[in-house]
Amino acid sequence: MVSTKLWNECLKTLERELSGQDFNVWIRPLQALEDTQTLRLLAPNRFVMDYVKQNYAEQINALLMRLRPSGTPQLTLQVGNSRVSVNSSPATAVSKSSLLNHAVTSQAIPVAQETFTTHLNAKLLFSHFVSGNSNRIALSAAKQVAQEQGIYNPLFIYGGVGLGKTHLIHAVGNQILQKQPQSRVLYVPSERFVSEMVKALHEKKMNEFKRHYRSVDTLLIDDVQFFMNKAQSQEELFHTFNYLFDNQKQIIFTSDRPPQNLQGIEERLKSRFSCGLAVAVEQPDLETRVAILHSKAQIAQTRLPEEVAYFMAQHIQSNVRELEGALHRIIATARFTNSPITLTSAQETLKDLINQTQSHLITLAAIQKIVADYFRVPVSTMRSRQRSRQIARPRQIAMSLAKELTQHSLPEIGDAFGGRDHSTVLYSYRTVAKLKTADSQVQRDYSHLLERLTH
Ligand SMILES: Nc1ncnc2c1ncn2[C@@H]1O[C@H](COP(=O)(O)OP(=O)(O)OP(=O)(O)O)[C@@H](O)[C@H]1O
């Protein structure tokens, strides 16, 4: 019997200290082997091991010292699975069936005779997906699933319109096919699943329909909110899910909201949606929006000046699809007029788009008020000289939001925050950018404020 007492104590604290997503993706999959001198953590794969080493080893070590001040055990991290063999080497220790932790049913998978089409868009790849705080966890989870199917099953990716959910699931499918060309990977928008089912019912071809969907190795279902209030389609989806899950096939869903908010979806299906891992994609921040624009411009073999990318990213904040649309317009105009892309030409081309958003332009005063209210500090502290952390952090966050969301120059922002100079604003911006990666609470606060200010 392997003891995990100390690790269980660590888990309790880590669950409190980390965001739900970070905890579920990185910490929960770890298995522990411990004695008085060592705590060995076994990660399901190298990807998780490396990530935990880089991001959490220090925090876990500190926690061990706190929990066992005299006789802190030594922490080691490796790839493995304690349920297979305690002493097995890392390479042989990973067992997929123990990760899935689900019995294989004796039912044979019917062999489908028809030609199989994946419906994947070969251009939507991980290499074209720009990583940022808004999608870091969803991207990691998707990459892990592409590397090892079943590790999170189902994977449920949710978030607002045009934020990259479809891109991510195609990227998973494409990567699986790259490594295993024979694998049956099927992408289906929910709408198509429903209409194919209705057609099959009508033509009395339900057996074929079932056989088709149950013959796949990986099923990628886009926009499951479309199943809301469609009882019969939900019933079919439920049985398809169970069949594939029981046979250890990977399923990935996307949705515009988390599973628990899918009204009009049966409870038993909602509980299936959330029995694996649910991860969010959020609105990208300014830096990520700029990076996405550069990446898209590079794919289109177009040079996009930095100032144009910033101008676009500052004005188009709501979703990446709109940003991409604006870029295509700029590129098309430049090609049509046979002239280079400049800030003036971009401003002219996007005039109507920008004018629409002009009415929602965010003021420095609005940012100060919303941030002060959120952190429950008086709004006057935004302009004050006080440096206590309690005041300084909200102020840094407000300055950072001001740089991200407004057209004001750094000196203007500094001025509005009690006459600080531009280097203080820049320092605040950089500090907050670092904190957003290192501290999940800061990231949550920031996303929340961004949402409040832009909607
Ligand atoms: N992080 C990113 N890096 C590169 N491109 C991105 C990123 N996020 C979104 N995109 C691009 O934005 C466009 C919209 O993304 P996508 O279709 O995946 O959104 P979605 O979240 O599925 O939206 P919907 O809910 O409307 O289906 C796509 O062209 C996609 O390539």
Could you give the strand order of the β-sheet that contains 38-43, starting from the edge strand earlier in sequence?
Answer: 31-34, 38-43, 74-79
Residue 166 annotated in ligand binding: yes
- Cα-based torsion angle of the residue sequence 185, 188, 190, 192 in order, rounded to the nearest 10 degrees: -140
What is the Å distance from ligand 1's center to 166 Cα? 6
Reading the block at residue 391, the tokens are: 């005041």
| Segment holding 258, helix H or strand E | none
Reading the block at residue 240, the tokens are: 């398809």
Mutate to test the pocket of ligand 1, among 128, 168, 320 (most ligand atoms within 8 A of CB): 320
Give me the tens of pLDDT residue by residue for the chain, a chain 455 residues long: 457 889 999 999 998 888 777 888 889 889 999 888 899 999 877 777 888 888 889 889 888 988 888 888 999 998 877 654 333 333 323 333 333 333 222 233 344 455 789 999 999 999 999 999 889 999 999 999 999 999 999 999 999 899 999 999 999 999 999 999 999 999 999 999 999 999 999 999 999 999 999 999 999 999 999 999 999 999 999 999 999 999 999 999 999 999 999 999 999 999 999 999 999 999 898 899 999 999 999 999 999 999 999 999 988 887 899 999 999 999 999 999 999 999 999 999 998 877 555 445 688 989 999 999 999 999 999 998 888 888 899 999 999 999 988 878 899 899 999 999 999 999 999 999 999 888 888 988 998 898 888 76
Nearest to 99 by CA among 30, 46, 4: 30
Please give the C-alpha separations between residue 405 and each of 62, 130, 285, 312, in angstroms, as whole numbers.
Answer: 37, 20, 9, 12
DSSP class of residue 131?
P
CATH entry, 5-79, from 3.10.129.10, 3.40.109.10, 3.40.120.10, 3.30.300.180: 3.30.300.180
What is the Å distance from ligand 1's center to 68 Cα? 47
| Segment holding 42, helix H or strand E | strand 38-43
CATH superfamily of 126-280: P-loop containing nucleotide triphosphate hydrolases (3.40.50.300)
pLDDT at 357: 53
pLDDT at 201: 94
Residue 123 annotated in ligand binding: no
DSSP class of residue 396?
H
Q: Does 292 sit in the ligand 1 pocket, CB within 6 Å?
A: yes
Whose tokens are 């004005």? That residue is: 315
Please give the C-alpha separations between residue 3 and each of 76, 83, 282, in angstroms, as whole numbers.
Answer: 16, 13, 39
Q: Does 322 sit in the ligand 1 pocket, CB within 6 Å?
A: no
pLDDT at 110: 41
Task: State which fold the 286-359 domain adopts.
Answer: Helicase, Ruva Protein; domain 3 (1.10.8)
Is the Cβ–Cβ distance between 297 and 303 less than 8 Å?
A: yes
Residues β-bridged to residue 277 = 155
| Number of CB atoms found within 10 A of residue 258's CB | 16
Strands (DSSP E) along 102-161, which ranges?
155-159
Contacts with 350 (C-beta within 8 Å, 6 or more apart), sequence order: 312, 315, 326, 329, 330
Query: What residue segments make up the domains of the chain, in order of their start?
Result: 5-79, 126-280, 286-359, 364-454
Q: Does 163 sit in the ligand 1 pocket, CB within 6 Å?
A: yes
Mutate to test the pocket of ligand 1, among 161, 166, 174, 225 (most ligand atoms within 8 A of CB): 166
pLDDT at 106: 27
Please give the backbone phi and psi of residue 204, each rounded to the nearest 5 degrees, phi first.
Answer: 55, 45
Q: Determine the atom of ligand 1 nearest the C-alpha atom of 131.
A: 1
pLDDT at 2: 56
Does the pTM exceed 0.95? no
pLDDT at 99: 30
Is the Cβ–Cβ distance between 280 and 159 less than 8 Å?
A: yes
Task: State which fold the 364-454 domain adopts.
Answer: Chromosomal Replication Initiator Protein Dnaa; Chain: A; (1.10.1750)
Nearest to 435 by CA among 396, 404, 409: 396
